Amino acid sequence: MSSIKTEDKPALDLEAVMKRLENADGRQYWRSLEELSAGEGFQEMLQREFPRQAGEWTDPVSRRRFLTLMGASLALAGLSGCRPPGGKIVPNIKDPDGVTPGKPLFFATSMPMAGYGMGVLAESNQGRPTKIEGNKEHPASLGATDVFAQASVLGLYDPDREAGLTYLGKPKSWEDLCASLKADLARLPKGKGFYLLTETITSPTLLNLLENEFLKDYPEVQWYQHEPAVSDNSIAGLSKALGVPVQPVYQLKTADVVLSLDADFLSRGPGHLRYAKDFSSRRDLEKLDSFNRLYVVESVLSSTGAKADNRLPVRAADIERFAHLIAFFLKVEGVSEPKGFSAAERLWAEYAAEDIAARAKGTTLVIAGDEQPASLHSLVAAINDKLGNNGKTVLYIDPVHARPGDRAKSLRGLVDEIAAGKVQVLFVLGANPVFTGGSDVGFQGALEKVPLRYRMGLYHDETSKLSHWHIPDSHYLESWGDTRSYDGTASVVQPLVAPLYGGRSFVELLVNLGANPNRDAASLVKDFWKAWFEAPAQASLKSSTTFEKFYRKSLHDGLVDGSRFSPKQVKLVADAVAESVKAVASASESKPAGKDNLEITYRPDEAVFDGRYANNGWLLEMPKPLTKITWDNAAIMSFKTALELGINLNTEKRPELEDGVYRSGASSFGYTGGEHGRAYVDTIKLTVNGRDLVLPVWVVPGHPDYSINVQLGYGRERAGRVGTKDVGADVYKIRTSQNPWSALGLKVERTGKQHILACTQGHHYMEGRHLVRSGSVEETKKDAEWVHKLNSVPEQHEEGDHDHGHDHKHDHKHEHGKHKLSLLPEAISPKYAYKQHKWGMLINLTACNGCSACVVACQAENNIPVVGKVEVTRGREMHWIRIDRYFEGNPLKPTELKAHYQPVPCQQCENAPCEQVCPVAATVHSYDGLNDMVYNRCVGTRYCSNNCPYKVRRFNFLQYTDYASVSMKMVNNPEVTVRTRGVMEKCTYCVQRIRAAEIEAEKRGKLKAERENRALDRQKDCQIQDGEVVTACQAVCPADAIVFGDLSDKNSKVAKLQQKVENLNYSILAELNTSPRTTYLAEIRNPNPKLTSSGGKGHA
Amino acid sequence: MPQVFPKYANVLTWAVILGVITTVSLLGVGAMVFARSPYATLKETAYTQPIQFSHAHHVNGLGIDCRYCHTSVEDASYANIPPTKTCMNCHSQIWVGSKMLEPVRESYRTGKSLEWSRIHRLSDFVYFDHSIHVTKGIGCASCHGRVDEMQAVYQHGTLLMEWCLDCHRAPEKNLRPRDQVFNMAFKPSDLKQSNGQPHTQATLGAELRQKYDIRSLLECSTCHR
């Protein structure tokens, strides 16, 4: 970590800030605390689009050398002809069936994520998987994917997976491996002393092999599990409450009110995609009467909390006590009113409970966060039962993964066995316990005591380094297998490509140790499902079809029909609440929250999860939804906590760094205007349970006071070339397996040093422009036109100017009022009659939950390069769509905090400012309304980006695209040009998909006209059906927030929606006369009217 | 006042000015001419192929349709080169011992692909789609020339963007009925107009443009994405 020495600056003036806030009128949208401080440095920052030192060359390469290099390449770029040499064409010997070069194929498969399957369609271009799409048929996602699925295709081609099968560093063959394992099992009687450590397993085939073959052959083999980032408290709590171990499946479609107790159900968990889709379907802007309501009580500001209608930040240690408060108001038997909450918190609980109690039975839902203790889960089961939700909004199914139990305890158990000398051979499958084991477990030391260690994994990581045998595992895109999803639905995992790095699957290894060796994974999976098909439970299936047909259908659809777990009939056991009462009683004896009694919460990271994706550039560079930090983790705390701890929030100019990388004090955060994202932040030393770690501080408004959140998965030592050096700090060092999710007794000390965080947060301050328009259901019912009334620009408007009553329509006959502030004169607005397609996009801010799947999907589809931390600090991240995140409210009153998301791709302006200024006509307008970007014409003046008011254009300042790594070439989408340095790029509405659909439609139409022996009627014959063209961002969105289509097609979803909720439809910066084709639907929430904050004084 | 410049400076000034103007223009014009020359565009340049496959013999002589080998031309953006198996379809029965065909047999036997030299190559940032052109009525010969008369394939056109735009601006110059697309020897005069006169490309093109509703697509994103 680079360190800077600085003298102590005075802390932010609290009094001044509070005073300003109290005098403020209307809604205060603000991004960062710097804005709020409105100090000198900040104002200066706003004046400049690029920071003061923009011209200065802060790279180690000197200016002279730069010119030399540029000069040389200029000389060589001359008359070498416009034609590349022909090269070779190398056809196959025999063409594979069904593969047409130039046409991608989609295969249904399933991505295992912490064991649970996510149904996906993998796009294969001539045998190379290049993109993951969602599988619309799959109940766990209904066509959505998350960032991990999108980035998984990059993980497939990761050159750091290269390590082959080795023993003590020497290459060995598969036969050698099997022989060695067989020999080990032979010398150990019945396998006694052979220990197996795996991650979560849901695969029915693998389970069958393990339970019915391997463990039957070797009954003394012990099987342990390790899953560092997933909690088992839910199953533990529910089994106590309901008598049997069960897992919940939530039916959010039928829930009118949802109360989340620290549950981030919209962005984490095996069912989160389905929950996001269902939740979003209940927030239909056309049906304001059936809007649901979400109450969230949480210890870390999450995307679920950002979408909440009413949100309360509460420390993790107090959540269970708060749940008692709710339960008390709901009159749950056995619960008494807990003390220690403020009047505001008590009122919140009372009104929320009142709202819930007033609803009909079975229409509400209370969800407990996975990381909360088991006793809370029992309590919540009791609450749901009382509210009649059991069997309606919450269903209970048998646990989906194998051998459910306390996995943290499992790992400790294994270490104890090692210490006792019982472990002769240890086989680690997946997992990375040396990195993720937890500081109290001491797995590294224990592992070194085991005489023989096998490790099967994707990377030669920390655990492989200490193992004798390293066996390359196969990625899910290159192996046969199966998975189960959140509701038990099974999907077959089918490979799209032969293993790239010699990986084999574990099932194949297992069968080679048994009596019936040399079966390949494909036949193992098929045989398992054949046996399942023939079982009496599937008699009805058997009668209607044959197994071959059924299996093919399962492979085609991406799920096995009939494999879903049926909900169980369970009843509450008598003492469901008692544990929770006991837990709360003992907790209330502890010290009250304060500077001296801080809490630490540990959460899996939104980008690298538990650390397994630490080498994935797409994920590392994805700005995290709420903090917008990339390439790092941080200690997140609230404003008040930071002030009390003496953290320096003042962002005046920083002196030079010692290590000389960033020279001349170029930019502190306060100075970086425009597109830079370099934040100089204090670092603190966190000490908990006798272990310490230094982390940079990040203040997030709305975070509960006296609680610090840290993210797992960074600071890896052997992740690969991308994720190893200087990428965050290893939080596992201060995490214990006894308190894996939160701990009290945290001590914090300022180190006096600083760290640079690459964060994309500081740009695009709203400055009084109404970019995000947020209102409530009530307001909309009272005044349907409130969104359009916000169209005028405050402050800059002169008196008497005509206030633009309604938004710019896409109907060019409409006469615009004259604005003083306009980028372009009226005359240029094209009176172009769009004869055919008129592509448009609608982004629904009510639905968007900031998950950033669209950001990574766009990166995968359009070959967007990764630029690295240093370039992100210069504001040069290349994402074509970014998600802006705004906060609203008073940072010192966390209960009133709201967070808003706004995805911003290129707006495809009809009256585009960028097109006017390009000197070489590299960006022009197409006949169907797209703003075309022609990479080969671009000479890199960057005038277009200069003129773009939305700043959605990304320039390749350096050679970001990796031309060198062979495997990286395979991940590129062949339909999109791979850009080199010096060209501008931006969102194209996935023009490659539009053109492909157009070509198909034209061919279809032409052939039809010919068959019918008549002239072609383009309108009738060459129609593109709505839904035929789906942009990458639209396809993956779990909340269906992006709607794209042909505006000239009256029946398209986008045209209909624009018309039906026209009152909520607006475009951003419309006053600049750009007529963007991408418009937004205002964000509507449904807060409890009794809990609406007093700060809401109507609209600005 | 003393003369600073000698007498010849008068001539020299003009010579230099005119010389510079001429040189720069000649260089400019020369560059443009050079870029369009067969040297730079590789027009009408044949290459050595692993096997001297003769289209003239197979297409003209034997009457094999283009699509027998170039199978994906009506479906996809690429018109592919056939796999070895396509050659072996016939040559496992005809000319089985021929020395000239030994590379084909070896390829089929060993599983090592034949490496043909690519004749038609567009830049990587150009996305050309064969299937739409073929469906809309542009004959193979319009762009590739009389391949059925080529002993060795060479590039018929310059493949420069201006060459593509030439047709895109006026598609009637190259349109033909869809059933004649694969007919290399097609001439517009083979068809008769409604008034009995034989067609010319102008009349045929105009009629087909109307019937097929051909747009002249000049958007950049048509080919550059």
- What's the average model confidence in pLDDT over A1054-1082? 91
| Residue A342 CB burial class (10 angstroms; 0-12, 13-18, ≥19) | exposed
Cα distance from B5 to chain A (closest Cα, Å)?
A: 36
Chain B: nearest CA to A923, how far in angstroms?
Answer: 9
Instruction: Answer yes or no: do A82 and B160 touch at CB < 8 A.
Output: yes
Q: Which helix (H) or strand (E) holds A755?
A: strand A742-759
Contacts for A1024 with CB less than 8 Å, ≥ 6 apart: A837, A997, A998, A1001, A1046, A1049
- Residue A827 above 70 pLDDT? no
- Of all residues in chain A, what percent carry a pLDDT higher than 90? 63
CB-based contact A934 B212, cutoff 8 Å: no
Interval A781-791: pLDDT, tens: 999 889 988 87
Distance (Å, rounded) from C-alpha B45 to C-alpha B147?
Answer: 13
For the ranges A570-584, A924-938, B139-153, which has the lowest average pLDDT?
A570-584
Least confident of A228-232, A684-688, A832-836, B94-98: A832-836
Could you tell me the pLDDT band of residue A803, with boundaries at 50, 70 and 90?
very low
Contact B132 A991 (CB under 8 A): no
Interface test mutation site (partner B, options A89, A832, A924, max chain B beta carbons within 10 A): A89
List, for residues B7-57, the tens digit of each pLDDT value.
Answer: 999 999 999 999 999 999 999 999 999 999 988 888 888 888 889 999 999
Residue A284, pLDDT score: 94
Query: In which residue are the tokens 């710097």 written?
Result: A34
pLDDT of residue A18: 52
Decide if B40 and A83 are in contact by the 8 Å CB cutoff: yes
Percentage of chain B modeled with pLDDT above 70: 100
Residue A968 φ/ψ, nearest 5 degrees: -70, -25
- Within 8 A of B112 by CB-CB distance, chain A residues are 93
| pLDDT tens sequence across A414-443 | 999 999 999 999 999 998 999 999 888 889
Q: In chain B, where are the structural domains located? A: 9-35, 44-81+119-222, 82-115
Nearest chain A residue to B109, by CA:
A93
Of A81-95, A210-224, A898-912, B200-214, minimum mean pLDDT range: A81-95
On chain A, the residues whose CB falls within 8 A of the CB of B220 are 924, 926, 932, 934, 937
pLDDT at position A153 is 95
Q: Which of B225, B172, B210 is nearest to A978 (CA)?
A: B225
Q: Band the pLDDT of A674: cuts 50, 70, 90.
A: very low
Tens-place pLDDT, residues B100-127: 999 999 999 999 999 999 999 898 899 9
What's the whole-model pTM score?
Answer: 0.89
Of A674, A830, A770, which is closest to residue A1068 (Cα–Cα)? A770
Residue A939 has pLDDT above 70, yes or no: yes
Most confident of the ranges A64-68, A591-595, A710-714: A710-714
Of B39, B131, B219, the CB nearest to A1003: B131
Shortest CA gap A1057–chain B (Å): 28
Instruction: Name the minimum distance, in Å, from the CA of B153 to any CA of chain A.
Output: 13
pLDDT at A822 exceeding the cut of 90: no
Q: Confidence band (pLDDT; 50, 70, 90) for A113?
A: very high
Closest-CA distance, A1015 to chain B, in angstroms, reads 5
A242: nearest Cα among A138, A385, A146, A62: A385
Which chain A residues are closer than 8 Å to B80 by Cβ?
91, 101
Quick one: average pLDDT of A1077-1081?
95
The size of the A-B interface in CB pairs under 8 A is 147
What's the one-letter identity of residue A266? L
pLDDT at position A671 is 36
**pLDDT tens-digit profile of A296-312?**
999 999 999 999 999 99
Chain B contact present for A90, CB below 8 A: yes
Most confident range (mean pLDDT) of A39-48, A825-834, B183-192 is: B183-192
Are the beta carbons of B221 and A101 separated by less than 8 Å?
no
A372: buried, middle or exposed (CB in 10 Å: 19+, 13-18, 0-12)?
Answer: buried
Question: Residue A183, class by beta-carbon neighbours within 10 Å (0-12 exposed, 13-18 middle, 19+ buried)?
Answer: exposed
Confidence of residue A16 (pLDDT cuts 50, 70, 90): low
Residues in chain B with CB shorter than 8 Å from the CB of A79 are 31, 34-35
Provide the CA A498 distance to its chain's centre, in angstroms.
Answer: 29
The answer to whether the CB atoms of A999 and B210 lie below 8 A apart is: no
Residue A544: pLDDT above 80? yes
Q: What would the mean pLDDT of A357-377 be, rounded to a whole number?
A: 95
Nearest CA in chain B to A925: B219
Which chain A residues contact residue B124 at CB under 8 A?
84, 977-978
> What average pLDDT does this structure show over A611-631?
93
pLDDT 10s digits, B88-99: 999 999 999 999
Q: Which residue is it, tokens 């295969």? A: A107
- Chain A residue numbers with beta carbons less than 8 Å from the beta carbon of B127 are 975, 992, 995
Choose among A653, A695, A660, A700: nearest CA to A678: A653
Tokens at residue A704, please? 């509960």
Whether pLDDT at A60 is above 70: no
Inter-chain residue contact A932 with B224, CB threshold 8 Å = yes
Nearest chain B residue (CA) to A835: B215
pLDDT at A11: 40
pLDDT band at A85 (very low <50, low <70, confident <90, very high): low
